[in-house]
Structure 1
Amino acid sequence: MYTSDEYGVLNNYATEPQMYLAVYPSPEQQRRYAFIGAIATLFVTSLLLIALSVS
């Protein structure tokens, strides 16, 4: 989408979307985030331990 200023110069910058406030996650989402974080921590820890044991 192109717009022009009062001198006729084209302005092809992206239009900014409407801003909105973030919604705090529900307790269910918080539990899910904690569970995914725990799984990711276990995965990375196991990868590090396997790498150390192989080397």
Structure 2
Amino acid sequence: MPYTKEEGGRLNNFAIEPEVYRAKAPTQAEKRNYVILAVLAVLLVGGLITVAVFASSAGAG
């Protein structure tokens, strides 16, 4: 763990803060990828719900 020295020679063992930076806006390709992933996630969840409905109704009949 890195230490910093204060005036008078005392050691300070607090964490060193990382450099702060501004986030970049997503590019068109990244936005397209986000939309594709969102559609796939909705299809996956919808499919899981459909399977659960059919599986629960199959056991009741």
- Local SS of the residue matching 1:23: coil
Provide the residue aligned with 1:41 in structure 2: 42
Matches within 5 A, 1:1-40: 1-6=2-7, 8=10, 10-40=11-41
- More helix by percentage: 2
Q: In the comparison of the two structures, how many residue pairs are matched?
A: 54
Q: Which runs of 5+ in 2 are unaligned?
A: 57-61
Provide the residue aligned with 2:53 in structure 1: 52
User: Percent identity between the aligned chains?
Assistant: 37
Deviation at 1:26, TM superposition (A): 0.6
TM-score by length of 1: 0.80
1:5 partner letter: E
1:33 partner letter: Y
TM-score by length of 2: 0.74
The higher radius of gyration belongs to 2
